[in-house]
Structure formats: structure tokens, C-alpha cells
Amino acid sequence: MEGGKITFAKLCHEELLRQKERDSIGLYAEKRLHSVLKRWMYDDFSAHEQKVPQRDGKTSRFVADILTPSGEIIEIQTGELFRLAKKIAFYMEKTDLKVTLVHPLTAQKWVSWMDPATGEVGARRRSPRHDTVLSGIALLRSLSPFLGDLRFSVLFPFLELDEYRLLDGGGESHKLRSHRYELIPLSLVDAVQLTAREDYLVYFPTELPDRFTAKVFQKHTRLRGYALYDAIGVFEALGAVQRIGKEGRSTLFEKTI
């Protein structure tokens, strides 16, 4: 892991210099993070952006971020995972190749606010928000049919990030619904890989009572909103819980493990 951290830091530095040479800071915000992760996973450009052959040998319309010579597909997704659902379904149903999905999570983030008119940047502050493996698992609901399949792995790199946001939002602070200007990867803090069903179940809150509602699940996981219900949905797909009825207006779940 230590070697991985050193390599990641080196790639972050190289990509920062490369973008400065292009004199286009801000235009490649997501691409920079994507590029660092792609090179960290497989630093051979000849394997990048390759069309994926179907099981029958025909060339498909899908282009993988990485297709290794050994026949492994690696997809890097820094945005919403549901956008990859059709692509992953094709890989799993129409090929025999192993598939790894890489999705970065935040271990630590520093936020700076920028005036969109002057370009002036305010003080850099540490954000209290960070991700957990469980909050990452909640993001996988659209990929539930493939979780636990040994051909499909999910890799969560936990990163330290610098985020620059524009003061172009609503409210007195102009921060409400503001836009991200730049997201810069700084370092790799940790990485967690999930493949087998048991890998996911390690993060299931076993201290839950045998029967519980979403409100009880929230107390034990601190997940909220969509993440709360998506996490329950993932564990339901993995066979860890099942719906058994209602408790008042709330759905009642039961542990099956």
C-alpha cells in the first residue's frame, strides 16, 4: 500500500504540471482526477481507451477506460455511478472478462471559495465531510445485480482532495447550489476493494436489531437521505435483509444473516 501511495503522489504531481503546461486550469478538473486514477491503475497508455470485444469476438461500441493485455476491464468513474450501469451490464452479460470499477471517495478535503468575477481565492479550509466504505456501498445500488459476482470488483481509493468552488450560488453567502471549479487530487490515504459477497457484508451494521426500520438503520450508520435507503437496497440485493411488512408507516426489515 505504501508503494501505491508514493506512486499516486508522483502521478498527482505529474498531472498538475501537465495541466499547467496546457494553461487550462479549471477546464480539466474532472479529467485530471480521472487521469491520475487511470495511470495509477495501469500506467501504460497503449491499454487506455480500448474497444471491448464481445464473447463472440465481435467488436462492441463500448470503449473501456483500460483493457489490459491479460483481459481485465477497468472503468474509472469519478461521477455518478448509475451512468455506468448499461456499460457494466454489457461487460458482465456479453463478455467473459473481469471488470473492476474504480470510484474515488473522500478521506479528507480542503475547500477554497473563488470569486467568479475577480478570480480571488479565499482562505483554504478543511471540510468536515468525508466518506466511509458504507457510504460508498450505498452508491452502488444501480449495480446491485453484479455485486458479489467474482468477475466484478469495486475499488474505493480514499483520497485527500483540494476543491475550489465558485461563489456563484444563492443565499447571502452565494454558496447555495454553487458550482465546482476545480478538484485536485493530493494524496492516496487508503484503498478498499470489494469482490465477494462477504467483502460487502463486513460493513453491514451487525449491531442492528433483528427487525428494524430505516430510522433505526440511520442511527447505526449515520447515513441520511438517498444514501440511507440505497444502502438498505444494496444489502437487500445481497440477501442480508428482507422486507417483512410495515411498522406504522415505515417499512419493516429483517436481518437474514
pLDDT number for residue 20 = 59
Single residue among 182, 203, 224 that ends a domain in this structure: 203
* Average pLDDT rounded to a whole number, residues 197-220: 96
- What SS3 state is found at 154? strand
* 79 and 23 belong to one structural domain: yes
Residues 118 and 215 in one domain: no
- pLDDT for 200-210, tens place per residue? 999 999 899 99
Clarify whether residues 177 and 227 are in a common domain.
Answer: no
CA-derived radius of gyration, the chain = 20
Residue where a domain stops, chosen among 157, 183, 203: 203
Question: What pLDDT, in 10s, does the model give residues 131-170?
Answer: 999 999 999 999 999 999 999 999 999 999 999 999 999 9
Question: Beta strand 48-53 with 59-67: parallel, antiparallel or unpaired?
Answer: antiparallel
Does 58 share its domain with 166? yes
* Cβ contact 9:1 at 8 Å: no
Average pLDDT value over all residues in the chain: 92
Q: Cβ neighbours of residue 166 under 8 Å, at least 6 residues apart?
A: 113, 114, 116, 178, 179, 180, 181
Looking at the structure, tell me whether residues 40 and 155 fall in a common domain: yes
- pLDDT > 80? residue 114: yes
pLDDT cut 70: percent of the chain above it? 95
Same domain, 196 and 253: no
Q: DSSP per residue over 17-57, as a string?
A: HHHHHHT-TTTTHHHHHHHHHHHHH---GGGEEEEEEPTTS
User: For residues 123 and 97, is the Cβ–Cβ distance under 8 A?
Assistant: no
DSSP string covering 155-203, please? EEEEEEEEEEEES-SBTTTT-BT--EEEEEEEEEEEEEEE-BHHHHHTT
Domain that holds residue 59: 2-203
Pair (150, 238) in one structural domain: no
- If asked whether residues 230 and 213 sit together in one domain, one would say yes
Last residue of a domain, one of 178, 203, 228: 203
192/215 same-domain check: no
- CATH number, position 251: 1.10.10.10
Stretch 216-231: mean pLDDT, rounded?
Answer: 96
Q: Is the dihedral of CA 216, 221, 223, 227 positive or negative?
A: negative
* pTM for the structure as a whole: 0.90
One domain for residues 88 and 191: yes
pLDDT (tens digit, 9 = 90+) per residue, 75-112?
999 999 999 999 999 999 999 999 999 999 999 999 99
Helix axes 29-41, 2-22, angle to 10 degrees: 140
Report residue 59 as a C-alpha cell.
Answer: 467488436
Question: What crossing angle do the helices spanning 214-221 and 225-237 adopt, rounded to 10°?
Answer: 100
Q: Are residues 175 and 115 in the same domain?
A: yes
Number of domains in the chain: 2
Residue 70 sits in the same domain as residue 14: yes
Q: Could you give the CA distance from residue 112 to residue 126 in angstroms, rounded to a whole number?
A: 9
